[in-house]
Copies of this chain bind each other. A is one copy, B any other.
């Protein structure tokens, strides 16, 4: 339905004949490539279709440009480490110049974007406005702060809290923005539950005031118990975090055990039920909004692929198709680093009948095809086999190889068992005291045993297969061992010179223990769980970004408000100030008595660590009280705000995400496109099962297959694939978007229906703005 997609409002013009001057065709190709590339990476930015704009657009999306943007975003964020209050102090002049540089880079990126996108779209996009406003505000703040600095007045660098805006609002941060949007959409529903929760807290506060207020009870610290309604409300809020249980209950409980029922009721209703309801509401909304967004994304992808098809199509017989030559050029533009054998495989899948052209249905799959990483394995003989075949194929050598491969007969499992036992003994040795020289010499023994293991494996497996791109555990093993070897050597050298470097020793110790992780690999059930965790790892990083944004903003605010109020002084110094964290207001407080002075907002690192502690929630009240003592009772609002945003909102979204990801991982089937590719690979007889590679059975298997394959050697069509084996990269290492799309794949309308752009945008219940959903 070309007319349909045409109506959706693209601006390019295309002559209907298939023969154009090469220059014109080049431009068409670039335009189509831009569409395909957008579809592949789920970019939803509308772009100008003039030849110059398309070239600029390709440049805009080039990885170097995106990497540079990220670099400046991170430099900008990292500036807080060097500004007052600093971990590593630098003069204001240096940091401000660095900041101006970053702002210039952001501005440049924005200008570049403005050149490739239609003016109207650009100015309607809140992202761009946000970035521009933030740049201007930061410059103003810099100027004011600089001027005040010049006359020696310390100003407030408030614009620093805005820095995460850049991380969120550049089109590169699609996932973080999606999560933010999902939070924003959940807010109304959360709000009502939260109000009800506050109402319930208020009711309980009133009850507590009436029940306990007049009894003249005292807390352990001797302060009055439950006499002030605001104090009660704060205590009860903290009880939701569980941080003051059971202390808050003890005075009443000591009076009469019936009163504990009040607290138990409160805990059941507000801590358990309400917190679960928060999770349920967040989870429910998270799923709903995510589904809508992914829905829209999938339709947009389809739309863009149709656009690309319409640009490149020619009529052959009754149907429109894309010629093979053009298709090849297109793929080369979209994915320049695709190997020619991979390209051949893709063509074979897309052009099933080998008619020399690709039809529409197959063309539309191209974006998905490109997203599936196919690993081309170049089957080579082991180098040793080539160099000295007789020795390598001798019966002793073969026995060693079979033992290492540990998949032939039962007794050959011995290799794995022996090494598991070695690791176990190693663990016991680590746990023992190592000052005994015998034990410290044993370390060298273990190290050499591990090195021997790696060498044996390299002897058995072809090295480039062993260190394949996706052989995570092989890489892990080898890197840990090499690093441990280097660090141990370094440590011994340093020690020999009577100079003990703690850092190097720490690294040695950690590496030595990380080696024990290898046990996981040999137990199948463990490997499954770990694989699932690694599977959802990249998506968890999105949350890392989200958490960073919130933490950073709170840290900057915290630093402005609480900076320098609490100091950590070495208690060994004997200074009386050390006992009150350098602030007399903390005298006799639980904060100072518990030696929490190190928890302060005096620099970015301390602030972030403190915020992490607050996220874990324990001693929440103690920490909040400490900072309220040195400033004002209102400071508690900062801590409650942090709790609501991070613990109630973000941690719940994190849990919701892990739940969802785990359910998907449990029920994950191969996608339709993946199945098609696999079928083709098998048909062509160039497939390798993933497990075979992982278990190291690659080489055995090759012998059997090789003969079957060579029978086809005369077939001209297959000559490009000769000597190569393919397999689909395993399910792990999926991109976030792929994983999410797969979650809702079944609910997306079947192929063949091409909705118009208008229809697409109406799919989501709230009218998603085309520009915003990028």
Contact = CB atoms under 8 A, between A and B. Distances in A.
Interface of A: 192-193, 195-196, 199, 202-203, 206-207, 209-211, 220, 229, 242-247, 249-250, 253-254, 257, 260, 264, 267, 271-273, 276-277, 279-281, 283-284, 427, 430-431, 506, 509-510, 512-514, 516-517, 519-520, 525-526, 529-530, 533, 540, 568, 594-596, 598-599, 605-606, 609, 612-613, 616-619, 651, 654-655, 658-659, 662-663, 666
B210 A609 contact: no
Copy count, this protein chain: 2
A245 B616 contact: yes
Contact of A254 (B210, B253, B540, B598): B598
Contacts of A568: 254
Contacts of A662: 277, 280-281, 284
A234 B271 CA distance: 26
A606 B192 contact: no
B257 A606 contact: yes
A279 B529 contact: no
B520 A196 contact: yes
Nearest to A256: B502
B250 A529 contact: no
Q: What does DSSP make chain A's interface, helix, strand, loop or mixed?
A: helix
Q: Which 5 A-B pairs have the closest CB atoms?
A: A280-B662, A210-B509, A276-B658, A246-B613, A245-B618
A203 B517 contact: yes
15 contacts: A196-B520, A206-B427, A209-B431, A210-B430, A210-B512, A210-B513, A211-B509, A244-B618, A246-B619, A257-B598, A264-B609, A272-B654, A276-B655, A276-B659, A618-B618
Contacts of A513: 203, 206-207, 210
A434 to B, nearest CB: 8
Contact of A277 (B594, B617, B658): B658
Given A613-B245, A616-B246, A196 B273 contact: no
B277 A246 contact: no
A279 B655 contact: yes
A432 to B, nearest CB: 10
Nearest to A268: B612
A242 B655 contact: no
A119 B560 CA distance: 79
Contacts of A617: 242, 245
Contacts of A596: 246, 250
Given A229-B431, A276-B655, A283-B659, 17 more contacts: A193-B529, A199-B526, A206-B430, A206-B516, A210-B510, A210-B512, A242-B617, A244-B618, A246-B599, A246-B618, A250-B596, A250-B598, A253-B598, A254-B568, A254-B598, A260-B609, A273-B533
